[in-house]
Amino acid sequence: MQLHSPWALLLLFLVPVLYLLRRRRRFTAGVRFSDIRRFGDCPVSVRQRLQGLPFWLRLFCLVLLIVALARPRKGTAIESVSTEGVAMEIVVDRSSSMSEKMLFDRQELNRLEVVKKVAEEFVVGNTKDLKGRPGDLIGLISFARYADTLCPLVHSHEVLLDFLRDTQIVQLRSEDGTAIGNAIGLAAARLKKAEQQIQENNARLMHSGGDESSETPDFTIKSKIIILLTDGRDTIEESKPLEAAALARDWGIKIYTIGIGSETLPRGFFDLRGQTGPDDRLLTGIAQMTGGFYGRATDTETLREIYRRIDELEKTEVKSIQYVDFAEQFSPWALGGLLLLLLEMLSGCTIFRKIP
């Protein structure tokens, strides 16, 4: 609670002045008698005991009206956050080769589980060097032979993380494979569509006839990126990764590619084309074509280091504007004062009426 015009409270100094003036007039008699000792034994009526009530009603009425004049009001702080952030798609390979073992903080997990855990650290942050991406618009796509949107681009990252944790390695042989091009194409299309929708929404907000807060867009896309994680080579002929990367480049989308797996793979591990490990040359070409970079993650720490580089390159700017919405509270004080004034007038015309 605060007062819009606190200087009005200076009028309260009139209250003791009026009280003192009242006391000065208290002992003046309307009718003079030579001797009033005979009236000493007369009982005092209730009307006589309360004869000062109209004055006090008027005095309290004046106090309430002065407080109302100071305009008490209650403010509610409202924070408007405008974010110029990154729209990103995390694209995760879930083909059967991602079942190979990999160490995560001294614990042996498959590659997909390690990728999921480090991706979660990138999104929400960890206690070390990843601060999280709270202001970004993030989506999730997984792929094997086919690419699927698991989570659309969202600001609520808990929903995204739930889908990420539920992502599993492909079970059916007919769905196994590595369609890198299809995954890139789907991610690029999602980012392009999201950008168009945000631009249209921001344009409506800027031209709306609402208050100032409605004219500030909540989110503006600063950059669009794809983070592609895979441990294999493209195995689908119609996938065409370079063509998908060229389309992403034309739409202003940057691709960061990450190859999962050690330089020396276990003997006997071959993908569907008979070659081992990620296609470094292809992944490097995709990244360079779009302005990103390629990193080989041979263990958990190198994977975290790649995410740290992306985190440093893709900054998010959050602008916070705080304002206070006030609700006027003077009406109860004014109504109380007017009610006391009405009671004073009614009592003066009835119970405390004076006959000259």
For 95, the token pair is 């083909």
The dihedral through the CA atoms of 269, 275, 281, 285 has a sign that is negative
Could you tell me which residue, 70 or 2, shows the higher pLDDT? 70
Residue 264 confidence class, pLDDT cut points 50, 70, 90: very low
Please name the residues in contact with 159: beta carbons below 8 A apart, sequence gap of 6 or more. 151
253 touches 188 (CB < 8 A): yes
Q: Residue 256's closest CA among 305, 316, 207?
A: 305
Q: Residue 229's closest CA among 182, 193, 261?
A: 261
Burial class of residue 46, CB neighbours in 10 A (0-12, 13-18, 19+): exposed
For 65, the token pair is 């009206």
Distance, CA of 118 to CA of 280 (rounded, Å): 21
User: Rounded mean pLDDT of the chain?
Assistant: 82
Place of tokens 């094997």: 144
Q: Taking residues 108-134, what's their average pLDDT?
A: 91
Whether the per-residue pLDDT at 320 is higher than 80: the answer is no
251 touches 191 (CB < 8 A): yes
Q: What is the pLDDT of residue 48?
A: 66
Q: What is the pLDDT of residue 336?
A: 85
Whether the per-residue pLDDT at 24 is higher than 80: the answer is no
List, for residues 198-227, the tens digit of each pLDDT value: 888 877 777 765 444 444 556 788 899 999
3-state DSSP: the chain helix, strand, coil percent, rounded to 5?
45, 25, 30
Q: Taking residues 163-191, what's their average pLDDT?
A: 94
Whether the per-residue pLDDT at 31 is higher than 80: the answer is no
- CA–CA distance from 101 to each of 32, 186, 224, 262, 276 (Å)? 113, 28, 32, 11, 15
Q: Taking residues 109-115, what's their average pLDDT?
A: 94
Q: What is the pLDDT of residue 135?
A: 82
Q: What is the pLDDT of residue 70?
A: 84
List, for residues 73-109, the tens digit of each pLDDT value: 877 766 555 567 899 999 999 999 999 998 888 888 9
Looking at the chain, the whole-number percentage of residues with pLDDT higher than 90 is 42
Does an H or E element contain 56, and which? helix 53-69
Q: What is the pLDDT of residue 252?
A: 94
Q: Taking residues 146-175, what's their average pLDDT?
A: 93
Is the pTM higher than 0.85? no
For 231, the token pair is 């441990």
Could you tell me which residue, 42 or 264, shows the higher pLDDT? 42
Q: What is the pLDDT of residue 46?
A: 67
Q: What is the pLDDT of residue 111?
A: 94
Q: Taking residues 34-44, what's their average pLDDT?
A: 67
Could you tell me which residue, 197 or 354, shows the higher pLDDT? 197
Please tell me the total number of residues recorded for the chain in this structure.
356
Whether the per-residue pLDDT at 38 is higher than 80: the answer is no
Does an H or E element contain 116, and which? helix 111-124
Distance of CA 118 to the CA centre of its chain: 24
Q: What is the pLDDT of residue 140?
A: 96
Whether the per-residue pLDDT at 68 is higher than 70: the answer is yes
Q: Taking residues 103-124, what's their average pLDDT?
A: 91
Q: What is the pLDDT of residue 272?
A: 44
What is the four-CA torsion angle of 277, 278, 279, 280, rounded to 10 degrees?
-110
Q: Which domains does the chain possess? A: 1-22+46-70+323-356 (no CATH), 81-315 (3.40.50.410)
Q: Taking residues 242-259, what's their average pLDDT?
A: 96
